[in-house]
Structure 1
Amino acid sequence: MNSIELKSRAKINLSIDVLGKRQDGYHLVEMIMQTIDLSDVLRIKESDTEDIVIKSNSGDIPLDDNNIVYKAITLLREKFNINKGIEVFIEKNIPVAAGMAGGSSNAAAVLVGLNKVWDLGLSEKELQEIGLALGADVPFCISGGAALAQGIGEELTYIKGLSEDVIILICKPNLFVSTKDVYGGLDLNNIDNRPDNRYLIECLKNKDIKAVAENMVNVLEGVTSNMHSEISEIEKMMIDNNALGAMMSGSGPTVFGLFNNKEDALNAKKELMKKYEQVYLVNSSERGIEVNG
């Protein structure tokens, strides 16, 4: 096999809590992540040279060694002493720098894809361990579904996620948010509203979507929405159109709303499209990276 095509899914956070900071600068988190059916497509093929070539339909991502995909290829080549050239085409559908792990998911797809192309025989767990060196979200993006993530995001406990009949409305305003700045602006000693993740897990198990929506908390949202008022404006628009709840994902600026009525979600989408370009109606997914065909 010298080529492969994979689906690389985005994620949202149903909660984020930040518990502290390690000596190395990484933050200790406890959060619930959920894969959604909004995905990029990666086409990976071996080439006759020894070069790594990245192409994309998007002008918003780097195509050199600053791309996490490039780093993922380099990591595997060095680890297994492989000098074959690789060409990757990234068809971008997930908004860039959106707090939805688009880059991490692309890196995860490369690990899964090259494991097959190069016949490395690595298990999902082994791929996750390798992926952690690229970023804390990569292990989760490989497996997908729903999980409680602890530590720096690498300790995963898989849980029952949102059922696929819940409608998720995603809106990414045209803003750039630096994750580093958001975490830097968080006052760890002054967080008054934290998520109750045990309770949220219970609600997900009981399919009590209303309770999930009403109890979602992202402690980073206060920081990001202080910088950008659009975040609370988008949430308000979703709630005004009968969203059960709305919240920012990751460090932002993407906002999502949960709906149990498609018509309400479509109305909210129509309203948001008057002002924003990147608005999507999606469902949850139980899978992370998926090989096409």
Structure 2
Amino acid sequence: MKTQTVPAYAKLNLTLDILGKRDDGYHELRMVMQTVSLCDDVTVTLTDGTGVACRVAGAELPCDERNLAVKAANAFCEALGYHGGIDITLTKRIPSEAGMAGGSADAAAVLRALRDLIAPTLMDERLEEIGARVGSDVPFCVRGGTQLAEGRGERLTALRNAPRLYAAVCKPDFPVSTPALFQRSDRVALTDRPDTAALLAALEAGDAAALCASVKNVFEQVLPDEQRARIEDIKRALLVHGAECAAMTGSGSAVFGLFREEDVCRTVCEALRSAELQTFCTIFV
């Protein structure tokens, strides 16, 4: 049996802007996304049987088509006409319902592993096309690094790699509903938008301070009051402990603060960790 284990890296939104609702029901987005070192491990094995089997360690997640890793395997098989058996094992570290693309990262890792095992000459662009059928963040997770994402998030432009920064990621003990936030965004005037152009210029210049000054997420404006207050509390705590900036990632509920030094980032994570708040020290990758 052929097998492959690959990392599935989490992402952070350095910016996230909602430009409006489209005729197809989706929202037009413009955001800068960055992979970080926090990752799941994804092992894919080709078996003698048929169909896709999945096991998950470290989280309570479905193992059927509701799991994006399974959905990705099925999409790959359909696209390439592959009919063999596939076994997937996910070792989860990325928190769920955090805005860190944990499910999409797993799906992208499955696609990369299947490409290596079955069709090693398949181009990245084709893999991203398959990923777009699975979820809006999957193409980014296939590509990784520092990317401008537009459309639903599937239209990517490669950017200069971000300066070396550490992120203290804080995940509070409540989920945020992405569909509910999008619905709320349709009823709220989004007045405090990120300056994506300024962040792109900071990346081009390799200016970490200017990058941090441009980090912003419009979803914070449309959170329900209780959740928004909790997110603001976490942001303040990160800033008090020396973060150069702090923001929610994606539709939440994880919040991150950026630091220049690893030891400072680790100290902050230890100081803020509690029964109600998971913390992770990560680095841009």
Q: TM-score, normalised by structure 1?
A: 0.92
Contact persistence 1:34–1:161 (CA under 8 A): no
1:217 corresponds to which residue?
216
Q: Secondary structure of 1:131's match?
A: helix
Q: Distance in 2 between matches of 1:260 and 1:151?
A: 32
Identify which range, 1-10 or 102-111, moves more after superposition.
Answer: 1-10
Which residue type is aligned with residue 184 of structure 2?
G
The 1:260/1:63 distance shift into structure 2, 3 A limit, reads same
What aligned pairs does 1:81-120 form with structure 2 within 5 A after superposition?
81-119=81-119
Q: TM-score, normalised by structure 2?
A: 0.94
Q: Secondary structure of 1:185's match?
A: helix
Q: Distance in 1 between matches of 2:257 and 2:224?
A: 16
Which residue type is aligned with residue 213 of structure 1?
C
1:208 corresponds to which residue?
207
1:278 corresponds to which residue?
278
The 1:24/1:268 distance shift into structure 2, 3 A limit, reads same
Q: Distance in 1 between matches of 2:247 and 2:216?
A: 7
What aligned pairs does 1:164-203 form with structure 2 within 5 A after superposition?
164=164, 166-187=165-186, 190-203=189-202
Identify which range, 257-266 or 6-15, moves more after superposition.
Answer: 257-266
Q: Does 1:266 align with 2:266?
A: yes
Identify which range, 128-137 or 199-208, moves more after superposition.
Answer: 199-208
The 1:225/1:163 distance shift into structure 2, 3 A limit, reads farther
Task: List alignment gaps of at least 5 residues for structure 2.
Answer: none
Cα offset for 1:214? 2.2
1:68 corresponds to which residue?
68
Which residue type is aligned with residue 9 of structure 1?
Y
Which structure carries more relative contact order (alpha carbon 8 Å, separation 6+)?
A: 1
Contact persistence 1:60–1:96 (CA under 8 A): no
1:157 corresponds to which residue?
157
Contact persistence 1:225–1:232 (CA under 8 A): no
Contact persistence 1:243–1:264 (CA under 8 A): no
Paired residues in the alignment total: 284
Which residue type is aligned with residue 136 of structure 2?
A
1:289 corresponds to which residue?
none
1:138 corresponds to which residue?
138
Q: Distance in 2 between matches of 1:116 and 1:227?
A: 46
Q: Secondary structure of 1:220's match?
A: helix
Which residue type is aligned with residue 145 of structure 1?
G
Cα offset for 1:280? 0.8
Q: Distance in 1 between matches of 2:129 and 2:22?
A: 20
Q: Distance in 1 between matches of 2:230 and 2:77?
A: 43
Q: Distance in 2 between matches of 1:211 and 1:75?
A: 40
Cα offset for 1:274? 3.1
1:1-44 CA-partner distances (Å, limit 9, x unpaired): 72111111010000001001112211100100001111111111
Q: Secondary structure of 1:45's match?
A: strand
Q: Write out the 4+ residue segments of structure 1 that deviate beyond 6 Å after TM superposition.
A: none
Cα offset for 1:46? 1.4
1:232 corresponds to which residue?
232
Cα offset for 1:276? 3.9
2:4 corresponds to which residue?
4
Q: Does 1:55 align with 2:55?
A: yes
Q: What root-mean-square deviation, in Å, do the aligned CA atoms of Structure 1 and Structure 2 show? A: 1.6
Which residue type is aligned with residue 243 of structure 1?
A
Task: List alignment gaps of at least 5 residues for structure 1.
Answer: 286-293
Q: Distance in 2 between matches of 1:153 and 1:103?
A: 15
What aligned pairs does 1:29-48 form with structure 2 within 5 A after superposition?
29-48=29-48
Which residue type is aligned with residue 64 of structure 2?
D
Q: Secondary structure of 2:116's match?
A: helix
The 1:276/1:214 distance shift into structure 2, 3 A limit, reads farther
